[in-house]
Every structure is written in C-alpha cells, then in structure tokens.
Amino acid sequence: MLSGIIFLPSLSATPDPFCALFKLADWKQTIQTDGPPNAIVAFVHGFSDHCNAYYDFFPTLTSYGIEVRALDQRGWGRSVTNKASRGRTGKTEVVMSDLHSFVTSIFDSVKSTASSDTNASPPATPVFIMGHSKGGAEVLYYALNSSLDVPPICGVLAYSPLIALHPSTRPWNLTVFMGRIASRVLPKFQLVQPLNENLMSRDKRVCEEWRQDPLCHDTGTLEGMAGMLDRGTWLDSEHAGKAGQYKGPIWVCHGSADEVNSYEASRRFVERLESDDKTFKSYQGAYHKLHAEPEGVKEALAKDVAEWILKRCGSAVGGGGV
C-alpha cells in the first residue's frame, strides 16, 4: 500500500484554513428508516473513499430498521474543495476529535428528538459505531484507546479494518522509519499512494467505478499516513482492549482473500480482546470491499451486521442507549 508513492509539492506551514472549513461545513448524510429506527449506526469510511460509495449497503440496513448516519472525513469526499485539502486528515488527535464530534452530534440529535414531544417518552435509541478499512481501525481505536469522553455507544463494528497491511502491500521497515522522520519535518506534505483497484472487489465493475471516482483520490499527508499506521500498530499490540474505557460488544469481520489489509491481524485482534461479547466473522474468498463483493457476500454482510445489531438492541435500550 505504501510502495510506489508519488510526492506532491509541499504545502505552506501557515495556519490550516481547511480545519475551520471542515468544522463549519456539513459533510454528513442520513439514510433514514420508514418509521422510528430500532438503532442508529454512525459509519466511518476508509482511505481514498467517501460515504456515497457504499452501494446498497446503507439502504439494506435501513430495511432492517437501522438508520445510518455517515460523513465524509476531513480530506476525503465532498469535504475536499481543492487539491491542497486532499487527504489532510491531521494527526490522530484531530481524527479522533472529528470522530468524537460526529458521534456526540448523533447522541445530541437523538436526545433532542426524544425531548421534542413532551407528551411522549420514546424508548432510547441505541447508537452503534462502524467503520470500513481505515475507518474500521478508527472506530476501534476511538472506543478502546481514546482519551475523549466516549458516549455510551452500544456496540462497535469494523470490517476489513486497517490493523495491519497485507504482507504483499506492506512497506519496508526502512521506508516506514524514514517516513516517520519526514512527517515530523513536513507533516502536511502530500503524497499520492496509488492503490490497486483490482484488489478492491471480485466485481470488475466495482473496481472500475472506484478507479474512475474523482472523490477517491489516493492522496494522504505524511502525518496522516504515520498516524494511520500508528493506530494500527497499537491495535495489533497486547495493549489493545485492555486499557480502554469501552468494554461493550465488538464485531470484526474480514475477507480471507483481502490483499489490502491483513486478515490475520483482524483475527489476532479479536483473539486478544478482553470482552465478554466479541465476534470475528470470516468471509471466505472475499476481497477488501465486502459491501461490494459478489457471490452473495454483500448480502450476507448486511444481514450479519443487522442481526448482530438488533440482537443487542434490547439490552442496549435498557442500559447503554441514548
């Protein structure tokens, strides 16, 4: 993944105007259910991705009564207004702060909705967080290693998470070492990291659509790449899941033929996890974008996710919801 990088001109070290732009703009979308939702999922996309690239996955979840709220992360999708803002995610502290703001805004909105009718006392709506690839690692890190005051989420789901890169795409240790040094000197330095579209899905149409999508720009910054790898390194360590404030349900899944992120790292993470409610789901022969995989995988993913969430809604309403 980090081989064959293409460097872009260095950006100015002046205060980042994109930071203010991101905070002021609304890059979220909500896919609503027909009636009151049984649960709400806060969804976080991956690297070189955006929240409008998930095909039927979100609408399928809503058919189960699960509302989906997603956003284009800082530096990705519709939040990008020019080439200078591509991939400018910021350090891990910024990434976690953005995610925290997103999640807490959902809790605030549900509380506001619940209190808008003074004659009714609707049941709490359980809120779950979910992410794909880089976003999968982010939601796990947020729940388990964040210093922020994480609200009472009822479950964490991650698929194809970037805990470790697949051995075939993993950079040399020297490359990583030099990149970390460079990130301290030129943190905002942009680089294009071309991904192999053929590794995304076994559906060639999906691969071609991803390659041609202008919002999937393959661009990151040195500090963003370093933070992404550091979060994965922590998740792949013995410390993961032992020091975090979150001790609730966690569901992780991975395609066994994923050559972008490591299947074994995901399995290892769940094995080490200290939780009474943890699940690792394997999709045999599946590639990286499980939500766009053929041969019944995308349908199975949506069904498995929905059933896992709904099974936990009863206890969540009584104790962990909004």
Among residues 45, 132, 166, 288, the one annotated as catalytic is 288
- Which among 305, 304, 286 has a CA at the least distance from the CA of 294? 286
Query: Going edge to edge, which strands form the sheet with 28-31?
Result: 28-31, 66-71, 39-44, 127-132, 156-159, 250-255, 278-283
- What are the DSSP calls for 205-217, one per residue? HHHHHHHH-TT--
Among residues 48, 79, 133, 183, the one annotated as catalytic is 133
Structure tokens at 89: 């995610």
Percent of residues in the chain assigned helix, strand, coil, to nearest 5? 40, 15, 45
Q: How many Å apart are CA 227 and CA 183, to the nearest integer?
A: 10
The residues with which 159 forms a beta bridge, in sequence order, are 132, 253
Structure tokens at 21: 């732009």
Among residues 258, 266, 291, 304, the one annotated as catalytic is 258
Residue in this structure with the two tokens 């999906």, named with its chain if needed: 206
116 is catalytic: no
288 is catalytic: yes
Q: How many Å apart are CA 180 and CA 307, to the nearest integer?
A: 41
Using DSSP's 3-state secondary structure scheme, residue 108 falls into helix
- Which among 157, 158, 257, 251 has a CA at the least distance from the CA of 200? 257
Q: How many Å apart are CA 254 and CA 233, to the nearest integer?
A: 18
CB 143 within 8 A of CB 129: yes
Maximum C-alpha span of the chain: 64
CB 100 within 8 A of CB 74: no
Which residues are catalytically annotated?
A: 133, 258, 288
